[in-house]
Amino acid sequence: MTTVSAALASPTANDLQHRVEQFLYAEAQLLDDHQFTDWIELFTEDAHYWMPTRNTRTNRERANEISARGEGAHVDDDMVRLRGRIRRSTSGLAWSEEPPSRTRRLLSNIRIQQRDGGLLDVRLNFWVYRSRLERHQDWFVGERFDVLVPDSGSYGYLIADRKIVLEQATILAPNISVFL
C-alpha cells in the first residue's frame, strides 16, 4: 500500500481522482436536472441502493450505530424497485413530487480505493438541499459509500453498490422522495 503523499503525487492517481470526480459531478447534475431515466442507466443491473437507519449510541456501542444489511433501512432497493421509484416520481401522480422538488447536491471529500478487478470503493460526503412548493426546505447530509465498475460508456463508470448514511438519526423531512 502506498503512502498518502506518494499516492497524491502519482499522475495516475490524480487522473483517476479527476475521472471519478467528473463522473460523480455528472451524476449529481442528472439528478438536479431531473434526468432520472438517464441517471438510472449509471447503475449495473445487479446494483444495490440502500440507506440504513441510524441510532444514537454510547461510545461503547458506537459500532452498532448504523444498521447492517438486512436490518432496518429507510431505502433498500434493487434495480426493479429503483426503476419503480423513478416511474412513480416522474408519473405526476406522486404527491411528494408534484410539483417536483428543486434540489442541489454538493459533494466533497471524495476518497478512492482501488480493488482487484478494476472495482473502485468511493467514499464521499454529501449535502442535498431540497426546496419544495413555496416555503418547504429539507437538508440531507451524510456520507456515501459507492462501488464503481469501469464502463466503456460515455460516463466511464457504473454504480454497482451505493450505501447512503445520513448524519441524522431522526429525519425531519416529511418524506425521502429525492435520490441521494
Instruction: List, for residues 72-105, the tens digit of each pLDDT value.
Output: 898 999 999 999 999 988 888 887 888 889 999 9
- The CATH number for 4-166, chosen from 3.40.50.720, 3.30.420.40, 3.30.360.10, 3.10.450.50, is 3.10.450.50
- The mean per-residue pLDDT over the stretch 149-172 comes to 93
At 134, phi and psi to the nearest 5?
Answer: -95, -30
Please, is 142 exposed, middle or buried when counting C-beta atoms within 10 Å of its C-beta (0-12, 13-18, 19+)? middle
Q: Render pLDDT for 143-160 as a digit per residue (tens, 0 to 9).
A: 999 999 999 999 999 999
Q: Kindly list the domain boundaries of the chain, sorted by start residue.
A: 4-166
